[in-house]
Structure 1
């Protein structure tokens, strides 16, 4: 099936009646991101659209500024190059590229060809990138110079043409394609209810699954962000979550484009670089996961730089430490807003500028009215009890997984999309996360599948059985700890395992950060590894180490 043929009407996530209601209510738009770029080019041609903050590398002292007029023209030029290379309606184009203004231009150029972006994370390894491309079957792979070698390897293995996008300072981004550019036929562009993006998420088993997105689900999310944070086109936004993941999509792509605001991009997040960017560009809106905000609050750079321009901080992913968050608000004058959701579901709950600090910093906000939420215990509806596994229906949800993968796990029997957490909803409608149902490690706001870690580590010839669990961490919340039974007579250490996994092309996010070798893993009566005992064991080990340090 072509990606573009999987539209909102045929998706199990929405009925035709629901889609019509979302449009009638104004939650979904008739315009596209490409339309918004055209409008911004006409209304504010000289306003900066994207600013690439200097990385500090040689030859990168000033950073690149791309105005809305330049963005629009560059997207047209790239679209013509793609059309000349044979990209047609419904084709899938894989993008494996670092975060900068050029990647946003490329996304819009692909949209203008009525094609679908297959987003691969900048830090993905060849194994993950190959799996995503195997699932999505793209016509082309587009990468940058930094990823040329691994991209060449994956493209050759899957027999997919590779194009490199160059983005030299002072020049518009362009592709290294020999074919003559062709004009894109008017009227053939994507609509807001068509599939425009397929990205990856951590699967419960094996390699990542692919999530299918329309623009309108993110248009809805964008409207909630504007309303909750009182955003305007004159805001300067610093989104430090990279494309093409859910948080990065709305904070660095959809909201800046729909709003016509300016986004400042970092090649790589550090607390010092973020503080420098806030001061230099007078950033008013910061978007980051909770771990990144915790790192900012703990770093002396937040006290040596002028952060007084900050007005709003959007964050999510995990609970914030209350006292440092309150101190950060006092230091900067900014208001921290939390929300709760996922790449699959969009937001379920959110805080607003009108919420008191206790609610903003200690909960994930009120359940969003349009995103109907029920609570489940297995398949039993326990909404009345106020605690259970959330499932939702509404205008922010994705279309689910490509090819209907894990449909029965993602959706309830009557079509509500599940989250992988246990939550409480109080009498005032405020939601708090109290536990997790899935075997994930939540590191810095990113879900890391324990099964993926185990699947990769178990290929090492010295490892007989592997079990990955979360170990507590003061900065990242959780880190990856791997327990392993070894093949008789074999030995292994963490540096050796890390080198082996990197050699396989495993993503850096999946690398174990601690290795515990045991004679035998504990097992339940059913023969499964007793991960609860392993979690208790790693906590006990760390507490003992703290006592002796």
Structure 2
């Protein structure tokens, strides 16, 4: 696979000279953990439904990574090959990334909610040679799904199944045989290790073009974010991390998989968010830090209050993905006793802004934080002229952690010659340098921290035989931040209702979280003279219907 990470080389010299790029890889960091704290507990993986718990020390984690790395080469995986991984927060996810890094392969994390429609594009576009899936998770047969897709994926050589019973099981192919003891193992594990500027992660993000974009990151771009992030939050080796956010998102990948290794921490992985189980894990494992979207914080605070089980070790709950309501911050501070940290970021950069631990709580309610070290922000008007503090406009970021580009789509990289990246968001920056995201010029809805690819869903709705016009817009939701509403104009003589739309999109194999949860049927959709839909008017209409006003 040829990775066209064209945004890396132009900024290398300056990034290294400024101390923003550290020229380390996850391999050097894992090796350091084995050298300095081999018997420290590295990972505790908890499966919510079965109650199964797997624990690994750093010595054991590195040994399993080596084993799986050699096993992947036996499947034909070579340097710069893509290994797709659609697993929940299981230990096999962490080990697969570490194994790929041992042999210079590139990991493509895939959200477990994705189904045929999304996967068929991602696996083909990323030219995945191997895809690793669970046999069953939350009642869904992943092996059967990928088997049905396989004839249309010419690059896919192997489907490896965690918990499978056949010859293609993860256990039989990768984690059980003592591959690391083979005669050629040492050469395999050392010959093709990637450098800090080689692509190590390919992760897809929803955009406005109607198809996902493959974000390419290197060790340097990822670590350039994780290190200042951890410093701002004053995290160290003694802090136990709880990660219930999916590791197939940057939240889980960067701060639940990579950060614990960089800091020599212990991490607790939870595959299904269950607030009461999370409370028990925080108490039993002495968890001090977690990061998740607003619904997780709502659930945790409510269940702590209702159960009476306190979480005295939890120092920080970093909340990102949607604004945090003021009453929730107040309740969480009182009930959890934790510092509630607001943040904002993107797949292309990781966390861009956070508040500080010494900031007043009001900053978490009214802002999304200030830039991390190595990050610059600017807000400009439609002509590209900088706007003064307090005025909203288009948000641009220039960051040491900016990605290497979109795979095969360099024309969409959105980064100018000076390194400014167009976030597609609207924001204002106050006189203290704190940002507040005010909207999105990108046509994406964020539901509980999960991006909904609006254009893609709209395109599918246009295939419905009864729909003439369709628009997907957000409406506010107390728990998830936003939900999706479909506004449609039926064809003459046709009728349409929400169950019909849901059934249609399910037939198109769309992820359940992407399906609109509300329907508005109209005779027309407001538009500009040029015919462009005025979605802001639709959002205003929904607010008025739901709340009786703006």
| TM-score past 0.5 threshold | yes
Counterpart contact for 2:398–2:421, Cα < 8 Å: yes
**1:292 to partner: Cα distance:** 2.1
Counterpart contact for 1:337–1:360, Cα < 8 Å: yes
Farther-moved stretch of structure 1 (480-489 vs 198-207)? 480-489
2:386 to 349, 361, 382: 382
1:163 to 150, 159, 182: 159
- Residue 42 of structure 1 corresponds to which residue in structure 2? 35
**1:542 to partner: Cα distance:** 2.0
- Residue 198 of structure 1 corresponds to which residue in structure 2? 202
- Map 1:425-440 onto structure 2 (within 5 A): 425-440=429-444
- Residue 65 of structure 2 corresponds to which residue in structure 1? 75
1:61 to 51, 72, 81: 51
> How many angstroms apart in 1 are the aligned matches of 2:446 and 2:173?
39
Q: Deviations over 1:92-122 (max 9, x none)?
A: 1222222211101001111111111122111
**1:175 to partner: Cα distance:** 5.4
1:320 to 319, 324, 335: 324
- Residue 124 of structure 2 corresponds to which residue in structure 1? 134
- Residue 399 of structure 1 corresponds to which residue in structure 2? 404
Residues 1:291 and 2:284 are matched in the alignment: no
> How many angstroms apart in 1 are the aligned matches of 2:410 and 2:460?
21
**1:351 to partner: Cα distance:** 1.6
- Residue 2 of structure 1 corresponds to which residue in structure 2? 2
What is the SS of the residue equivalent to 2:408?
A: helix
Counterpart contact for 1:468–1:481, Cα < 8 Å: yes
> How many angstroms apart in 2 are the aligned matches of 1:372 and 1:542?
38
Q: How has the CA–CA distance of structure 1 residues 277 and 457 changed in structure 2, closer, same or farther, with 3 Å as cutoff? A: farther
- Map 1:11-410 onto structure 2 (within 5 A): 11-12=6-7, 15=10, 18-55=11-48, 57=49, 60-146=50-136, 147-159=142-154, 160-166=156-162, 174=171, 176=173, 183=185, 184-299=188-303, 303-384=307-388, 386-387=390-391, 388-407=393-412, 410=414
Number of positions where the alignment pairs a residue of Structure 1 with one of Structure 2: 531
Farther-moved stretch of structure 1 (376-385 vs 237-246)? 376-385
2:543 to 521, 539, 542: 539
> How many angstroms apart in 1 are the aligned matches of 2:444 and 2:171?
39
Q: How has the CA–CA distance of structure 1 residues 222 and 264 changed in structure 2, closer, same or farther, with 3 Å as cutoff? A: same
Q: How has the CA–CA distance of structure 1 residues 369 and 235 changed in structure 2, closer, same or farther, with 3 Å as cutoff? A: closer
**1:271 to partner: Cα distance:** 2.7
Counterpart contact for 2:484–2:516, Cα < 8 Å: yes
> How many angstroms apart in 2 are the aligned matches of 1:257 and 1:415?
29
> How many angstroms apart in 2 are the aligned matches of 1:301 and 1:331?
6
> How many angstroms apart in 2 are the aligned matches of 1:286 and 1:139?
33
**1:406 to partner: Cα distance:** 4.8
**1:476 to partner: Cα distance:** 1.0
**1:242 to partner: Cα distance:** 0.6
Counterpart contact for 2:42–2:265, Cα < 8 Å: yes
Counterpart contact for 1:94–1:141, Cα < 8 Å: yes
**1:13 to partner: Cα distance:** 5.5
Counterpart contact for 1:165–1:176, Cα < 8 Å: no
> How many angstroms apart in 1 are the aligned matches of 2:346 and 2:71?
34
Q: How has the CA–CA distance of structure 1 residues 62 and 99 changed in structure 2, closer, same or farther, with 3 Å as cutoff? A: closer
What is the SS of the residue equivalent to 2:69?
A: helix
**1:14 to partner: Cα distance:** 5.4
Counterpart contact for 1:32–1:215, Cα < 8 Å: yes
**1:398 to partner: Cα distance:** 0.8
> How many angstroms apart in 2 are the aligned matches of 1:352 and 1:129?
38
**1:301 to partner: Cα distance:** 5.7
**1:384 to partner: Cα distance:** 4.0
What is the SS of the residue equivalent to 1:380?
A: coil
Counterpart contact for 2:217–2:403, Cα < 8 Å: yes
> How many angstroms apart in 2 are the aligned matches of 1:247 and 1:195?
19
Counterpart contact for 1:287–1:314, Cα < 8 Å: yes
Counterpart contact for 2:135–2:163, Cα < 8 Å: no
> How many angstroms apart in 1 are the aligned matches of 2:54 and 2:74?
27
**1:446 to partner: Cα distance:** 2.7
Farther-moved stretch of structure 1 (515-524 vs 435-444)? 515-524
Q: How has the CA–CA distance of structure 1 residues 174 and 43 changed in structure 2, closer, same or farther, with 3 Å as cutoff? A: farther
Counterpart contact for 1:205–1:449, Cα < 8 Å: no
Counterpart contact for 2:226–2:259, Cα < 8 Å: yes
Gaps of 5+ in 2: 137-141
**1:306 to partner: Cα distance:** 2.1
Counterpart contact for 1:211–1:401, Cα < 8 Å: yes
Q: How has the CA–CA distance of structure 1 residues 62 and 210 changed in structure 2, closer, same or farther, with 3 Å as cutoff? A: closer
Farther-moved stretch of structure 1 (334-343 vs 412-421)? 412-421
**1:478 to partner: Cα distance:** 1.0
Counterpart contact for 1:297–1:325, Cα < 8 Å: no
**1:174 to partner: Cα distance:** 3.3
> How many angstroms apart in 2 are the aligned matches of 1:185 and 1:266?
30
> How many angstroms apart in 2 are the aligned matches of 1:501 and 1:349?
36
**1:179 to partner: Cα distance:** 11
> How many angstroms apart in 1 are the aligned matches of 2:23 and 2:46?
33
> How many angstroms apart in 1 are the aligned matches of 2:284 and 2:126?
41
Q: Give the structure-2-normalised TM-score.
A: 0.90
Q: How has the CA–CA distance of structure 1 residues 398 and 302 changed in structure 2, closer, same or farther, with 3 Å as cutoff? A: farther
Counterpart contact for 2:134–2:162, Cα < 8 Å: yes
What is the SS of the residue equivalent to 2:267?
A: strand
> How many angstroms apart in 2 are the aligned matches of 1:394 and 1:342?
11
